[in-house]
């Protein structure tokens, strides 16, 4: 297969933001009186969307979250990410070694990617090729975001490679008919099937070159 495009997820693939985001969610939920732990957040919402977290919280509370809760949460989170987030180890070298066009397709808002990619020095590498599910209303695990990114970049879906770190992302890539590589840098494993797993970003260029 002649690869035409490599589509990267953002959180957990390009930037090591998931621990920061998880801690922020635990703090916020505990502040509402919900005894959520980090493992709960990662298990239920990793790679998901804000609306699902809020819906679950409201179901447990039996009431709506306070007015302005989401905006305040995002403001606190972005402030933390702007000072604490780091690039995934080895990702810069892996991007340098790739000989294919790249883009980012994330369930996160564009504003969040501007913060995380910007402060890790990765933003310019994806200029004009950053796609957020919020912009088109299509969220993983549905394949629409990846198909949208492929079309926008002029690539055939069956000639695209997806690099993901969550079950929802893997399912989306498989459903889009793309080749999926699942980054398992923390050894947590995946439930979703259909992806080739790898543990070190140094492996990625050779995995793609071998297609």
Q: Report the catalytic residues.
A: 9
Distance CA 93, CA 205 (A): 9
Distance CA 67, CA 139 (A): 24
List the structure tokens of 205. Answer: 């260029």
Distance CA 4, CA 154 (A): 8
Question: Crossing angle for the helix pair 50-61 and 38-45, nearest 10 degrees?
Answer: 120
Distance CA 117, CA 111 (A): 10
């Amino acid at each position: 297969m002649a690869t035409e495009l490599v589509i990267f997820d953002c959180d957990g693939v390009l930037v090591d933001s998931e621990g920061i985001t998880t801690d922020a969610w635990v703090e916020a939920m505990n502040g509402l009186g919900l005894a959520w732990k980090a493992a709960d957040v990662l298990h239920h919402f990793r790679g998901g969307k804000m609306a699902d977290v809020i819906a679950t919280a409201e179901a447990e509370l039996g009431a709506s979250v306070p007015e302005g809760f989401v905006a305040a949460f995002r403001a606190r989170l972005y402030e933390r990410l702007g000072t604490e987030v780091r690039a995934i180890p080895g990702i810069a070298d892996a991007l340098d070694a790739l000989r294919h066009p790249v883009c980012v397709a994330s369930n996160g808002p564009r504003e969040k990617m501007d913060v995380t990619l910007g402060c890790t020095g990765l933003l310019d590498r994806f200029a004009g090729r950053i796609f957020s599910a919020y912009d088109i209303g299509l969220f993983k695990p549905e394949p629409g975001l990846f198909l949208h990114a492929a079309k926008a970049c002029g690539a055939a879906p069956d000639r695209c490679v997806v690099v993901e770190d969550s079950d929802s992302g893997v399912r989306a890539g498989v459903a889009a008919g793309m080749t999926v590589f699942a980054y398992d840098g923390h050894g947590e494993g995946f439930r979703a099937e259909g992806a080739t797993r790898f543990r070190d970003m140094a492996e990625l260029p050779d995995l793609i070159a071998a297609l």
